[in-house]
Amino acid sequence: MASVTLRNICKSYGDIKITRGINLDIADGEFVVFVGPSGCGKSTLLRLIAGLEDITEGELQIGGERVNELPPMDRSVGMVFQSYALYPHMDVAENMAFGLKLAKVDKREISRKVGEVAKILQLDQLLERKPKDLSGGQRQRVAIGRTMVREPKVFLFDEPLSNLDAFLRVQMRIEISRLHQRLQATMIYVTHDQVEAMTMADKIVVLNAGEIAQVGPPLELYHYPKNQFVAGFIGSPQMNFLPVRALQASASAVEIEMPGGSRMSVAVDGSQVSPGETLTLGVRPEHFVDVEQADFAFYGEIAVAERLGDHNLLHLMLEGVEPMVTLRSDGNRKVAVGQTYGAGLMANKCHLFRADGYACPRHYREPALFGDA
């Protein structure tokens, strides 16, 4: 097992910069998820760590040693891809053994390792099956097993669950999390799915256009996004963004003018904000409350009501506000399209972003993180 350190890692293809100045410390045994929209450079970064691409600039260390010049097989990394391309003419055991056979590992040693890994992945009853006789989830487990038998110090996963249906994805997600608990190996996992990132990661790295937008534990990113990009990417449905105007600002609070003219004070650091400045108010759909308990209320017409059983997702049209506001309400509450609905805001749950996208740091100590509120 090993730590992974990225120091000012840059990757260019000709004049095109794909990855810019990435600095990142991954601890031994940590589960780190790279997440971001398609094309932001997640796979590129993973391939740089694997040694499948040359690093243009910067230093990469695995286990404290510079590895920039080492070929993939000498880096003690094992990669699991989205398309797991098993050899169709080989059975499960042969597929898993293939890499070790190439490395001229002793036959008995190979069969011991394959047996051991097969047991962990619950493939021990399937060792003689050909890939075509396996389900998608089983095939993905073979692909993971093929990597595991080589006992890499660092596991690299590139969207390994994207080819599976929704149900299997959830199952495999849990299996990989359990595998990590069991192996205590360093794992770097790439996905575009923020739910996978939130549920699996010790630490999430949000990438935007080849740069790190924020690094931190899942709940820190959820409650304290440093910028509007992270705020919009983490959380589902997405955070609502509304244009507001700063009336007064200090290090302890910003007083804003809401759409419609009312005022509200938000406890964020406004030392970078000038009165009159246009800001963006961020409110998560799950943070609206009943108007009686609220610091501020919006009234709007329900344009779409999605009733999901345990909760409703309501899409409200508010006067003078674009686009619609999405909020989550109790599933037992009866709601109908066309009805007027009051959406209550709690000032301490609000986020404020400046025009350049940076968040005004929130002062509220979230109970989920601090447990003292």
Interaction site with Mg ion (CB under 5 A): 43
Element (H, E) at 279: strand 278-283
Cα 85 to Cα 42: distance, rounded to the nearest angstrom? 21
Among 26, 33, 43, 269, binds ligand ADP (CB under 6 A): 43
At CA 140, angle to CA 138 and CA 145, rounded to 5? 90
Which residues in the 3-32 window bind ligand ADP by CB under 6 A?
13, 18
The entry of Mg ion, ligand ADP, none that residue 40 binds, CB within 5 to 8 Å by partner kind = ligand ADP
Q: Of 84, 370, 277, which Cα lies nearest the Cα of 96?
A: 84
Cβ proximity to Mg ion: between 42 and 328 the closer is: 42
CA distances from 238 to 284, 287, 301 (A): 7, 12, 20
Q: With beta carbons less than 8 A apart as the criterion, state whether 80 and 157 touch.
A: yes
- Local structure of 318: helix, strand or coil: strand
Shortest reach from residue 40's CB to ligand ADP, in Å: 4
Q: With beta carbons less than 8 A apart as the criterion, state whether 338 and 345 touch.
A: no
Q: Scanning the structure block, which residue is given the tokens 């990661």? A: 201
44: contact with ligand ADP by CB under 6 A: yes
Cβ proximity to ligand ADP: between 11 and 203 the closer is: 11
The entry of Mg ion, ligand ADP, none that residue 329 binds, CB within 5 to 8 Å by partner kind = none
The entry of Mg ion, ligand ADP, none that residue 39 binds, CB within 5 to 8 Å by partner kind = ligand ADP
Cβ proximity to Mg ion: between 160 and 270 the closer is: 160
Q: With beta carbons less than 8 A apart as the criterion, state whether 46 and 188 touch.
A: yes
Cβ proximity to Mg ion: between 160 and 282 the closer is: 160
191: contact with ligand ADP by CB under 6 A: no
The entry of ligand ADP, Mg ion, none that residue 260 binds, CB within 5 to 8 Å by partner kind = none
Which spans of this chain sit near ligand ADP (rule: CB under 6 A)?
Answer: 13, 18, 36, 38-44
